[in-house]
Structure 1
Amino acid sequence: MTSRPRLALVGDRSDRVPAHAKFDELVPHFGVEVDWLPSAAVTDAVADYDGIWVIPGSPYVSQAGALLAIRTARTADIPYLGTCGGFQHALIEYSRNVLGIRDAEDVQYDADATTPLIVPLACSLVGETAPLHFAADSRLASVYPGRESTVETYHCKYGLNPAYENELRSGRLRISGWDAEKAPRAVELPDHPFFIGSLFQPELSSTPTDIHPLIRAFLAAVNVRAGVRERRPAAVGE
């Protein structure tokens, strides 16, 4: 019997995070089985999911748990979406484990970080909408066919420290979305089945009858991953 695709929402539920109430409203319309995993509950078993979404709510109870989820998605080719905190932590995970910047940090965890990769934005984006421009040949752009820009909803105070942007560009992780001042607002891995981090929050502009196109694209990738898993021959002893 074919099982439903499985999606992990990684984050710590809080009434203070507007996105969390939206997930309660939207999840029944995703068409997949969804488990909400507190950051401290993330283990290597997260690799059993067909999709991983690290949701807003940073700083997380367990930064290590959030980073484990992201690393697992990146290295095991599991579709990944990270919004707000999930964007910030994707930058941290990639900087530490791929670029070798082992002390890359978010100042929310350590105000005196040696390498403050994630810092307060020059202008807070809490409750704001702002233009988003994207690279024409990126996966992000494919979500918005025929367009060069759009307007997105934000609820964030922290983002990439401009001092480390060039170092970030030295690897495969690509900045694929930016604001009117060219500040990074989305990243992706071009050679991954689906790996996108966005500082904007597509869940906030979604309704049960009008799911944001980025979420729809992510869920499509989750379904593809589930189909591949179902077709995979069982190992001896399974």
Structure 2
Amino acid sequence: MSENGTKYIFVTGGVLSSLGKGITAASIGTLLKHTGLRVGVLKLDPYINVDPGTMSPLEHGEVFVTKDGAETDLDLGHYERFLDTSLTKKNNFTTGQVYKTVIENERKGKYLGKTIQVVPHIVNEIKERIFRAGEGKDILIVELGGTTGDIEGLPYLETIRQMKHELGRAMVMNIHVTLLPYIKVAGELKTKPTQHSIQELRRIGISPHMIILRAEQPVPTEIKKKIAYSCDVDEDSVIVAEDAATIYQVPLNFLRQDILTPICKQLDLDSCQPKMDEWADLVHKIIMPSDEIKIAFVGKYLDLKESYKSLTEALIHAGAHLDSRVNIKWVDSEKIEEEGAAKFIKECDGVLVAGGFGERGVEGKIKAIQYAREEKIPFLGICLGMQLSIIEYGRNVLGLEDANSVEFSEKAKNPMIYLIDEFIDASGSKQVRTSTSPLGGTLRLGEYECETKEGSHLREAYDGAAVIYERHRHRYEANPKYRDALEANGMIVTGESHGLVDAIEVKDHPWFLGVQFHPEFTSRLQNPNPSILAFVKASIENRSK
């Protein structure tokens, strides 16, 4: 049983997936945090994968990386962006992790030879992980992935049911997010899907204290009243999550419906008055900015933009702080290979080449980088984007026609990007944390320090900081063998981590930055990432010229 006094809000979903449980959980957490409470968040993923690290972006969208190197669900990105906090591996776990732990404990004899079952052993492991995530917090918001009725989610729902009895009424609140569909032919909003979803929860033994209705249009009072009566919740606990102009407007929409009053009543909380003035001002600048720019976003997962979720959100954050809308022009790098870069980029104010894995579309990205460099367009290359800018420079400035990465050509004569298994400093000791992937190879994962070069755009972006901290997720590194030649010809290393190249710039370019880290992972609405903010600012200045 929890002994730390933490109160728990469980967020479940019904009818179908992708309703926005993550945004709902993050929005409620934001409001509670702005009242002065210590708020934590936890995502429970019912899939049996150990983590999403080996899952295709087409399957799962973006893999979000925490500061301690955990590869997690993309909802953790929403949590960090909304709550302006850094999370760790304890803020997300999967069924695969739970079963792995229980099986390992059984092999070690920790259960004293008993038969291992879902109840109590799996449920108890889930419970302990929830309690650990809640340590040191006043409120822990727990989002359960999937949809009520999924067989994968049953152990989690049983855990929630048991915690209500163990902790008592004022310690647990259940919030259910459900779809309120509009049937165009009938001209009606239909409540039956919500009623059936609630009935399924109550059959399991969970009675929601609040219902969040996802709707594409305003919901009449009589519909909300009907749902309150049929689902046995108070009328003020039926909240509408209507489609919003930006996800950052959702907390304000909830606040206008006085969502905190029933939450504070259920959990016996004193304060229900969040200070949201700064948040509201930023949202206003997102919706009604004074200016706008166009950024060419060159990538290869453009059919599923969730793969770049953190990066697109980071551009929104930067735009809000600069009172300018960042319009993204999605550019398929494979089309650049066929038709050239100028056709897609010449009218853009800045060029961004994102990260990724695999060879498909790489040559198109290199052409985009060359165009941005030669035409003096502000450029930001992230992870693979930095590596390709080094290769582009090697080919077109140093004259190394066969410059490449060993990721794409294992026998390249000039492997400007290479694979190393150990990160060794000058003293011969291992200094940089690595993680071996199940697919083979060594990953640099999580947060590392980076030393910035005096006088660089990188140091200027971070307000003159000599050392910064950013997150990584990559396997390949810039080959130091080519550093002297690059710097002698105008490409300067401006960021280093224990001798590894973390950032490069082009000397005779107004604003050209490639970074090995992923700056988007540390960008929040109220605190945009400095390098992305500087890139957007440079693009605005380029437009004004």
TM superposition score category, shorter chain reference: 0.7 to 0.9
> Displacement, 1:18?
8.7
For residues 472 and 306 of structure 2, what CA distance do their matches in structure 1 show?
11
CA shift, 1:60, in A, is 4.5
State the match for 2:311 in structure 1.
23
More helix by share: 2
Question: Do the aligned residues in 1 keep the contact of 2:302 with 2:330 (CA within 8 Å)?
Answer: no
Q: How does 1:110-149 map to 2 (within 5 A)?
A: 110-121=409-420, 122-123=422-423, 124-149=442-467
Distance apart, 1:78 and its partner CA: 0.2
Structure 1: runs of 5 or more not aligned: 229-238
Change over 3 Å in CA distance of 1:178–1:169 after alignment to 2: same
- CA shift, 1:24, in A, is 4.3
Distance 1:63 1:126, change over 3 A: same
Alpha carbons 2:300, 2:333 under 8 Å: kept: yes
Shift of 1:94: 0.4
After superposition, what is the alpha-carbon deviation per residue over 1:120-173, rounded to whole angstroms, capped at 9, x for unaligned?
Answer: 243544432111001111111111224211111111111111222222222101
Q: What is the match of residue 509 of structure 2?
A: 192
How far 1:15 sits from its partner (Å)? 10
Aligned to 2:331: 37
Q: Which moved more, 1:27-36 or 1:67-76?
A: 27-36
CA distance in 2, matches of 1:173, 1:41: 28
Q: Distance in 2 between matches of 1:134 and 1:73?
A: 23
Residue 14 of structure 1: how far off its partner (Å): 7.5
Which residue does 2:367 correspond to in 1?
68
- Measured at CA, do residues 15 and 128 of structure 1 come closer, stay the same or move farther in structure 2, by a change above 3 Å? farther
1:132 touches 1:178 (CA, 8 Å); kept in 2? yes
Select which of 465, 471, 480 maps to 1:162.
480
Q: Which amino acid in structure 2 is aligned with residue 61 of structure 1?
A: R
How far the C-alpha of 1:92 sits from its partner, in A, is: 0.3
**Whole-angstrom CA distance in 2 between matches of 1:132 and 1:17:** 29
What residue is the counterpart of 1:205 in the other structure?
A: 522
Secondary structure of 1:187's match?
strand
Q: 2:298 aligns with which of 6, 10, 34?
A: 10
Q: Amino acid of the residue matched to residue 313 of structure 2?
A: E
Partner of 1:177 in structure 2? Answer: 495
User: What are the superposed Cα offsets for residues 47-91 of structure 1, whole Å, 9 maximum, x if unpaired?
Assistant: 221100000114352222101110010000000000101100000
Q: Distance in 2 between matches of 1:12 and 1:153?
A: 22
Q: Are the aligned partners of 1:128 and 1:154 in contact in 2 as well (CA < 8 Å)? A: yes
Q: CA deviation at 1:3?
A: 7.8
Secondary structure of the equivalent of 2:483?
helix
Are the structure 2 counterparts of residues 18 and 90 from structure 1 closer, same or farther at C-alpha, using a change threshold of 3 Å?
farther
Percent identity of the aligned residues? 30
The secondary structure found in structure 2 opposite 1:32 is: strand
Q: Give the letter aligned to residue 107 of structure 1.
A: V
Partners in 1 of 2:299 and 2:387 — Cα distance?
13
Determine which structure has more spread, i.e. the larger CA radius of gyration.
2
Name the CA distance, whole Å, in 2 between partners of 1:88 and 1:99.
15
Once residues 47 and 39 of structure 1 are traced to their aligned partners in structure 2, the CA distance between those partners, rounded to angstroms, is 15
Structure-1 separation of matches of 2:409 and 2:501: 22
What is the Cα deviation at residue 27 of structure 1?
A: 4.1
What number of residue pairs does the alignment pair up?
226
Distance 2:303 2:310 in 1: 11
Structure 2: how far apart are the matches of 1:79 and 1:59? 25
User: 1-side partners of 2:455 and 2:306: how far apart?
Assistant: 32
Q: Which residue of 2 aligns with 1:235?
A: none
Aligned residues of 1:19 and 1:56 also touching (Cα < 8 A): no
CA distance 1:15–1:183, change in 2 (3 Å): farther
Partner of 2:133: none
Query: Mapping of 1:210-229 within 5 angstroms?
Result: 210-228=527-545
For the 8 Å contact 1:8–1:35, the answer to whether it is kept is yes
Q: Secondary structure at the match of 2:445?
A: coil
Deviations 1:166-191 (A, max 9, x none): 22222101011101x22211000132
TM-score by length of 1: 0.87
Higher relative contact order (CA 8 A, sep 6+): 1
User: Residue 13 of structure 1 aligns to which amino acid in structure 2?
Assistant: Y
8 Å contact kept, 2:478–2:501: yes
Q: Mind listing any 5+ residue stretches in structure 2 that lack a counterpart? A: 1-289, 320-324, 424-441
RMSD: 2.3
**Any conservation in 2 of the 1:12–1:60 contact (CA below 8 Å)?**
no
AA paired with 1:53?
Answer: L
Distance 2:504 2:366 in 1: 16
In the alignment, is residue 89 of structure 1 matched against residue 406 of structure 2? no
